Structure 1
Amino acid sequence: MDHNQLKTFAAVAYTGNLTQAAERLHLSQPAVSAQIKSLEQKLDTALFTRTSSGMTLTPAGQVFLPEAEALLQHHHRLDCFAKTLSAHRITHAEIGLIHPVDPDKTTRLTRAVLQREPDILLHIQYGMSGEIEERILSKQIHGGFFLGPVTQRSLNSIWLEDIHYTLICPASEAETLSRDGSALNRCAWIEMSGVSGSRKNMQQFWRRHKIKPKHQIICDYPQTIIDLVCAGTGVAIVPASKAEAAAAAGKPLAVLDEYRQTLPMHFVYLNEHENDPVVQLLTGCLNEVWNL
């Protein structure tokens, strides 16, 4: 069974879209379509139903997918084993980190990884949830933290904790906003860009409270968001721990407790890398740090 055909089949199955699968695989759409057609001819059965909205698995495709995933996992495990044969091998581990992760837990995770593998080359890189997800899907990193529900079929996830969020506003506007929720419509809202895990949650929050912001400001750095609120620029939803720390430090902001909410935080990685030694190392250390 051709390994590239299996990768292409899995990518189309996960995305349900030839164009998205082609982008993920760094191939042209005709090349992806040709590989799927060749695989279907080899198996003498249709694996997908083509529709106006994309590609859906046929019953045969649904049965074939877990077998293809198992073969991809085995191929990856063999590739990892082959790398251990080199006398000059250095184990690399790439982790995607997002801002809501507690810095103390990041330190403890790093210490746990190095205690188990002292010679490992550990690369911790920041990003927002959507960016981390894309780096995992394109195999640039082994795994990473993700905020919000995990919907990608190609990803395994480990729930770590719920991150509590709250609405903050300039201290001078706290009384007005607490008394009249409709006043939130007149505020400028400071939010992160679309690849952040909290963006979709923000839009759901607006719908739930019937808010139509008059103005939005996009800012991807959490501390700057808090500083902008303190300066009277607008309101924002931020992790409760950061809001409380800023208030305790005497920053001129107020926490509107009636607007608290939570988002789940996971660690995610490709399901075909389930048996990757580096992934197993990372998940083992995560279990230790988060007491799972």
Structure 2
Amino acid sequence: MTEPMARFTIEQIRTFLAVVRLGSLHRAAAAAGLTQPAVTARIKNLEHALSCALFERTSGGLKLTKRGELLVAHAEKFEHLVELVQRDVVDPAGLEGRLRIGASETVAACWLPELVSRLHGAYPKLEIELKVDVSSDLREALINREIDLAILLGPISEYSVDNILLPGFDLAWYTAASGRRVADETSYLMRPVLTYARNTRPYRELKAQLFERVGPDASLFPSSSLSACFRLVAADMGVAALPRSLGETHVRAGRIREFDPGWVPSPLQFTASFVSEPKSHLTETAAALALEVSTDYAEQHG
């Protein structure tokens, strides 16, 4: 009598595809929130179940064997079928899992809490992990599969990433409410200009515009903390072009005020970005919900 083949699991298939897509056990482990030995064990158990080797180690890293290459297409179909079952059959209220969201500080200070609230309402058993960081780091985290959804200054120009355009944030110029008033408000720009971190698009754009309008004497002080920028403006340490929807609270509190030098940087444009493969109904739903929540926020603060 032929001995029945050992069974393999959905998680083993997913882990196999993660190793294939990311190119290493270490990256696959980081993306899945597992230890590398756990990933190694899943691959070995899958190889035992299929009675064949799926990878071979080379000087350049892991390489698929012939049977490993044959498995990829079948595994992707299997993965897609599981995704369809979760989308069409599983009750969202009973769906368990983990969703890793990365967001810029601007979004975190505005409508991210509402997004998390609505996700919890739709998926009460879902574990949501949040990462607040600058957009460049969020981009790398998404590409490396360390997060599932990135809400950042986008879009991300990468073939493997889908981007949903979100409403932008209009900027306004701010100075300390207690600061000295001048007749020509363009002269405020001769003071230190507090702005976003050096490796961001807003910093590069503002630097170029200040050089053109003010000249080489313009002084920029980049910061990775949006809240710190507001505090420094309130302390009369400089001026800044910051999101108006966030500045409103500080203006009403009498800490800062708007001024008009005759121009303002272009609005901050954000996207909800996610890796298209493997396809995830949950991630796509979260991205669509981010569009809904951000649109509501923009209408309320427009």
8 Å Cα contact 1:188/1:214 also seen in 2: yes
Q: CA 1:244–1:90 in structure 2 vs 1: closer, same or farther (change >3 Å)?
A: closer
AA paired with 1:223?
A: S
- 1:249 paired residue among 249, 253, 276: 253
Aligned length: 230
Q: Deviations over 1:11-30 (max 9, x none)?
A: xxxxxxxxxxxxxxxxxxx8
Q: CA 1:174–1:263 in structure 2 vs 1: closer, same or farther (change >3 Å)?
A: farther
Distance, in Å, in 2 between the alignment partners of 1:149 and 1:75 is 29
Q: Deviations over 1:59-88 (max 9, x none)?
A: xxxxxxxxxxx969937935976xx8xxxx
Q: Structure 1 vs Structure 2: percent identity of aligned residues?
A: 14
8 Å Cα contact 1:113/1:281 also seen in 2: no
AA paired with 1:127?
A: D
8 Å Cα contact 1:168/1:237 also seen in 2: yes
Q: Deviations over 1:2-48 (max 9, x none)?
A: 9777767xxxxxxxxxxxxxxxxxxxxx838x98xx9xxx9xxxxxx
**1:155 alignment counterpart:** 161
Distance, in Å, in 1 between the alignment partners of 2:81 and 2:141 is 20
**2:26 alignment counterpart:** none
**2:182 alignment counterpart:** 175
Distance, in Å, in 1 between the alignment partners of 2:183 and 2:96 is 59
SS of 1:153 mapped into structure 2: coil
**1:130 alignment counterpart:** 136
Q: Which has the higher strand share?
A: 1
Distance, in Å, in 2 between the alignment partners of 1:263 and 1:237 is 11
Distance, in Å, in 1 between the alignment partners of 2:139 and 2:74 is 19
RMSD, aligned α-carbons: 3.8
- Bigger mean CA deviation after superposition, 112-121 or 162-171: 162-171
**1:266 alignment counterpart:** 271
Q: Give ranges in structure 2 of 5+ residues lacking alignment.
A: 1-15, 24-58, 67-71, 87-94, 297-302
Q: CA 1:101–1:177 in structure 2 vs 1: closer, same or farther (change >3 Å)?
A: farther
Q: CA 1:71–1:116 in structure 2 vs 1: closer, same or farther (change >3 Å)?
A: farther
| Counterpart mapping for 1:1-292 below 5 A | 31=60, 74=76, 77=79, 90-101=96-107, 103=109, 105-171=111-177, 172-178=179-185, 180-181=186-187, 184=189, 186-256=190-260, 258-260=262-264, 261-273=266-278, 275-290=279-294
Q: What is the Cα deviation at residue 248 of structure 1?
A: 1.5
User: TM-score, normalised to structure 2's length?
Assistant: 0.62
8 Å Cα contact 1:170/1:229 also seen in 2: yes
Q: What is the Cα deviation at residue 199 of structure 1?
A: 1.9
AA paired with 1:224?
A: A
Distance, in Å, in 2 between the alignment partners of 1:167 and 1:6 is 45
Distance, in Å, in 1 between the alignment partners of 2:121 and 2:127 is 13
**2:4 alignment counterpart:** none
SS of 1:198 mapped into structure 2: helix
SS of 2:120 mapped into structure 1: helix
User: TM-score, normalised to structure 1's length?
Assistant: 0.64
Q: CA 1:114–1:133 in structure 2 vs 1: closer, same or farther (change >3 Å)?
A: same
SS of 2:152 mapped into structure 1: strand
SS of 1:229 mapped into structure 2: helix
Q: Give ranges in structure 1 of 5+ residues lacking alignment.
A: 9-29, 43-69
SS of 1:263 mapped into structure 2: coil
Q: CA 1:126–1:6 in structure 2 vs 1: closer, same or farther (change >3 Å)?
A: closer
Q: CA 1:288–1:243 in structure 2 vs 1: closer, same or farther (change >3 Å)?
A: closer
Distance, in Å, in 1 between the alignment partners of 2:104 and 2:228 is 16
AA paired with 2:237?
A: T
Distance, in Å, in 2 between the alignment partners of 1:226 and 1:173 is 18
AA paired with 1:201?
A: E
